[in-house]
Each structure stands twice: as C-alpha cells, then as structure tokens.
Chain A
Amino acid sequence: MNTLAIRANRRKLLILLALVLLCAIGYMLLDVNFSNPKLLAYAMKIRTPKLIVMLITAFAIGGASIVFQSIINNTIVTPCLLGMNSLYTLIHTAVVFFLGSASVVAINANLSFAVDVVLMGIVATVIYSWIFKKTKHNVLYVLLVGTVLTSFFGSIQTTLTRVMDPNEYDSLLNTLVASFNNINSEIILFSLVLLIGIVVVLRKELALLDVLTLGKHQAINLGVDYDRCIRRLLLGVTLCIAVATAMVGPISFLGLIIANLSRQFFKTFRHSQLVVGSALFGMIVLVGGQLIVEHIYTYSVPISVFITVGGGLYFLYLLLTRKKV
C-alpha cells in the first residue's frame, strides 16, 4: 500500500517531467525558420536565456512556496502573498535610489543583484520571523499583516521611483523591475550558483521538512533543533524569492497555484516529491503559458496577467473549500 503510493507518485513525477520537456521543446522550436541559419541562430539566442530564466524561476518559486507553507504549517499562504517579492523590489529600488542610478553597483547587474540578495536575506528574515512570533503563527493575522506589508512596500517603492525622476517615471519603473517581456538574463549564472548553494547548505534542514510539518512540539520531541532549523529555511526561502523576482519581476500567485497543485496531485507529506512536483508544475505553467502568449496572443497579453487572474480565482476557491482555517 505504502510502497504502491510511492511508486504511483514516481510515475506522476515522470509524467510531469515529460510535459516540461514537451513545453520546452515546443517553446524553442515552434515557428522557427530552419531554412535560414541566421534566423535560426537569432531565434535560439533570444529564446535560450528566456527558457533558462523561466526554468530557474519555476524552481525557485515552487520550492520556496512549499518550504514556506510547511514552515508556517498552512497551505493557503505563500511568501509572495505576504509581500516578499514587493520587499525585494523595494530593496532593489532603494539601493539604486541611494547609490544613484549611475553608480557602479546600479550599472553592473551582478553586483547590484549581490547587494540586493544580502540586504534581502537580512531584512526579510528579520521582518518575517518577527511577524510569525508576534502573530503566534495565526494564519489569518499573518495573511492580514502580509497584505498590508505588500501595499506598504509597493507604495514606498513607487514613491522612491517618482522622487528619482518624475518625468521618466514609467521607463524608470520598467528598468528597475523585471517582467516577462523584460527578463533579467544577465544574472543567470549567479542565480544558478546561488540556488545550488542554498540547496547544498540547507540539505540537512530540507531533510527535516517532513518532521517539521508534524508541528513544533512533535518536531522538538523527535530531536529537531526547531528554531535554528526554521530560521535557516526561512533565509533560504527569502533568497529564492529574491532570485525569482530579480529575473522576472513579481508574480504573486504563481507560488500559490503550483504549490497547491503539487499537494493535490501527489497527496503526500513527503517533501522530496512535493518540492520537485511544485517546481515541475511551475515550469509547465511558465513555459507552456509563455508558449501560448507568444504564439496565440502574439504578446498582446503578458503571462503574468493570466497567472494573476487564474491564481486569484484559485486562491478564492482554496479559501472557500477549506474546512477550517
């Protein structure tokens, strides 16, 4: 029974992986002009970094969302719903604001990202662990505070941008915040190294995720150094969100969709499967979605709009069908 369920889930993972490959191949090869090598090379040059960015983003958001949900023991919140991506955008804007848009830090994408990541790691861990403590993990409070923080960070960021250059407000906003039509592919290598580093450094804590979901007291009873473990995992989550937001900008509901799809699809407590499943779902949604956006809607509607609308509805559905909060 037990092993049967595990084997069934392995098969499901393979199916998802196949779908990801299908989307990726479709994305790379659809509408490519094979007869003209120059056009072919051009298409590849445009599409390859974009595909890589989407895959990395999906992994970062998918993994971070599952881990975050398990840390605070609730499946209707994600780091982005609590404003973590707005915080990152704010930090990035503030760094450019205070150092000046012509400074070395602002011009060098990797250096700027490094500064952002360090600040994000410190600020976000402090803010969010403080919130958890103050609200005693009460999800409704956490959600409420998170919503307030999201608009709070957002307004400060807009204000900073307006102060910087009121005339070029729109274009400035565009250069400061990435989006799917304006991805930040310069930091691919840095992000990859960072994500791998996070997984390696946190491998012990990641192995404790299954036990953590039994609740604080059970986890301590089973020998987990609870506070330290939560702190380290939370740091990992904030860095993952930093990577994703730096590359494609804020996409609030993506994490919620893919984490819950993964939980519903695999129906297990095993985080090895949940995390990988969530990442794979993310890749399907992003790459498949972008494929549709580029070829059917010919860029007229950005993918983030679909994700926000779909995610919003899905969030309502999750809230309304829950037996208890």
Chain B
Amino acid sequence: MMKIQELTKQYDGKTVVDGVTFTIPKGKVISLIGPNGAGKSTVMGMISRLIAHDSGLVHFEGKDIGKWKSKELSKRLAILTQSNNIQMKLTVRELVTFGRFPYSGNRITSEDESIINQAIAYMELEEFQDRFIDELSGGQRQRALIAMVIAQDTEYVLLDEPTNNLDIYHATNMMKTVRRLCDELGKTVILVLHEINYAAFYSDYICAFKDGKIAKFGTVEEVITKENLSEIYQVDFEILTIAGKPLSIYY
C-alpha cells in the first residue's frame, strides 16, 4: 500500500503540487487524469523518488520512501517517465534487458532471459528486438520502454502517459496489458492518461487533478460524471453508459 499525505512541491516559488493526500490501494489500476500542467507527472515523480518533495509524506509498504534503499525499491517499484531521450546506441532487446539490472546487474541469467522474452512478447516487439532504438518510430520506442518496465517485474508499476505516440491498436493493447498485469499478476498499476475513456474502461480508481490539487478521487463511476468532468476540463461533456462503463463524449 502506498499512502500519500499533504504532498507539496514548489518550483521557483510557484506551488505546482499542493497538499495532495490519497491512498493507492494495492492490486488495482489507478489512473491520474487532468489538464496539462495540473501536476500529474510531478506527483508521479515524487512518489517514485525521482523528484524530491518539499513537504508531506510518501509512505510505501511500511516505510517512508526516502528510507528505502534505492536498490531494494527498484525491485518493488518501476516507473516510466513522460519524456525519455536515450543517447546511446542500444537495441530494443538491450534496452529491455536493462529492466533486469536491479536483480542481476550486468550478468543476465537464463531466468532473466525468459522474463525479457516475455516482456518483448507482451509489447509485440519480436520483429524489432534487434533494431537500434534511435531508428524506431516514436510509438515503437514507447513500446520498447514499456517492455523494459514490464521486465523490471515489480509489484508497483507507474506509467506516465504510456499511450503517448501509440496508434489505437497498440494503445488498446497497452491498456489490456495493464489489466493483465493487475488481474493475472496482481500488480498495482498507476497511470497518467489523457484519454478519459481508456481511464474509465480499464481502471478501478480515478484520481483527477486540477491546479496541483486533487479535484476528485474515487471509483470510475464516482469520478466520471458530467458535472465533475466539465468542472475539471472546462469543456462540455455527455456521458453514455456502454458495457456498464461511463463513456464520455466531449466537443
């Protein structure tokens, strides 16, 4: 379980995350939504120790996140950040292999190999595995990065806009993979999504951010309502119910 209390972050005197408090239930899919600049990525960074927080608490599995050894944490929590620029000459397979670094360092075991193969298969990257990542399309590279996070095989998986750059086939597949990670492997997945309908169809809980604060947090049905969404995004919404899920239409 991850408990976040009064988390605050300032940049140059401007508060970008303001007293954020919520609890991430274990074994569920939680989506963070909200307008650009609402502070979603900053929150993701702070709860995964990539960004230092100014005040507040992040309590992860019984200990403050700062008290964890970085190495131990990397076996329990993995994060894909929003922007990645890797300068090195690296093939897809080599990139995914880095996901095993917390466990085996530079010496990969045969067990690691099979986990790497599985991650590559999850993201349908078999035909690209020996290509250099700087010679791939944006979407293919994004899938390679996600495969690396999957290979890291942690209880908690944090993905910042994983569907970024993906076509609807691969984006839908990505969301199904997220569900499988949760339902079949019991992982807790925390996502940042801009596609509200993906969030509504594939998550258990939704946390909506606005201006550095949590505007709404609850189950999909509680958060995805006409009033809530109109208020958060300042856009007109209609909600239809399809397959028991609230589908939103905006214009």
A269 nearest CB neighbor, chain B only: B88
A166 within 8 A of B: no
A216 nearest CB neighbor, chain B only: B50
Within 8 A of A (CB), among B6-53: 45, 48-50
In the complex, what residues of B have CB within 8 A of residue A74's CB?
A: 87
Is there an interface contact between B101 and A225, defined as CB atoms closer than 8 Å? no
29 contacts between A and B (CB under 8 A): A2-B93, A207-B105, A207-B106, A210-B98, A211-B98, A211-B101, A213-B86, A213-B87, A213-B88, A214-B86, A215-B84, A215-B85, A215-B86, A217-B79, A218-B84, A220-B49, A221-B78, A221-B79, A221-B81, A221-B152, A222-B99, A222-B101, A222-B102, A223-B74, A223-B101, A225-B71, A268-B89, A269-B88, A269-B89
A19 within 8 A of B: no
Q: What 0/1 readout, one digit per residue, does chain B (71-83) give for beta carbons within 8 Å of chain A?
A: 1111100110100
Is there an interface contact between B50 and A221, defined as CB atoms closer than 8 Å? yes
Within 8 A of B (CB), among A213-245: 213-215, 217-218, 220-225
Given A2-B94, A214-B98, A223:B87 Cβ within 8 A = no
A75 nearest CB neighbor, chain B only: B87
Binding site for B on A (CB under 8 A): 1-2, 73-75, 207, 210-211, 213-215, 217-218, 220-225, 267-269
B91 within 8 A of A: yes
B232 within 8 A of A: no
Binding site for A on B (CB under 8 A): 45, 48-50, 70-75, 78-79, 81, 84-91, 93-94, 98-99, 101-102, 105-106, 130, 152
B85 nearest CB neighbor, chain A only: A215
Give bound CA distance, A222 to B84, whole Å.
Answer: 14
Give bound CA distance, A218 to B91, whole Å.
Answer: 16
Give bound CA distance, A225 to B73, whole Å.
Answer: 11
- Contacts A2-B94, A269-B94 supplied; 11 other A-B pairs, CB < 8 Å: A2-B91, A73-B87, A75-B87, A207-B106, A210-B106, A211-B98, A217-B84, A218-B86, A221-B48, A221-B50, A221-B78
Main SS of the interface on chain B?
loop
Give bound CA distance, A268 to B88, whole Å.
Answer: 8
Is there an interface contact between A214 and B88, defined as CB atoms closer than 8 Å? yes
B151 CB, min distance to chain A CBs, angstroms: 11
B72 nearest CB neighbor, chain A only: A223
A52 CB, min distance to chain B CBs, angstroms: 31
B116 CB, min distance to chain A CBs, angstroms: 11
Q: How many A-B residue pairs have C-beta atoms within 8 angstroms? Tell me.
A: 65
In the complex, what residues of A have CB within 8 A of residue B71's CB?
A: 223, 225
In the complex, what residues of A have CB within 8 A of residue B84's CB?
A: 215, 217-218
Is there an interface contact between B130 and A1, defined as CB atoms closer than 8 Å? yes
In the complex, what residues of B have CB within 8 A of residue A207's CB?
A: 105-106
A69 nearest CB neighbor, chain B only: B87
B99 nearest CB neighbor, chain A only: A222
Is there an interface contact between A223 and B70, defined as CB atoms closer than 8 Å? yes
A5 nearest CB neighbor, chain B only: B91
B97 nearest CB neighbor, chain A only: A2
B201 CB, min distance to chain A CBs, angstroms: 28
Give bound CA distance, A225 to B70, whole Å.
Answer: 6
Is there an interface contact between B90 and A269, defined as CB atoms closer than 8 Å? yes
In the complex, what residues of A have CB within 8 A of residue B94's CB?
A: 2, 269
Give bound CA distance, A225 to B72, whole Å.
Answer: 11
Is there an interface contact between B70 and A267, defined as CB atoms closer than 8 Å? no
Is there an interface contact between B70 and A224, defined as CB atoms closer than 8 Å? yes
Is there an interface contact between B93 and A223, defined as CB atoms closer than 8 Å? no
In the complex, what residues of B have CB within 8 A of residue A222's CB?
A: 74, 98-99, 101-102, 152
Give bound CA distance, A307 to B93, whole Å.
Answer: 38
In the complex, what residues of B have CB within 8 A of residue A75's CB?
A: 87
A2 nearest CB neighbor, chain B only: B93
A222 nearest CB neighbor, chain B only: B101
B62 CB, min distance to chain A CBs, angstroms: 19
B82 nearest CB neighbor, chain A only: A217
Is there an interface contact between A267 and B89, defined as CB atoms closer than 8 Å? yes
A266 CB, min distance to chain B CBs, angstroms: 9
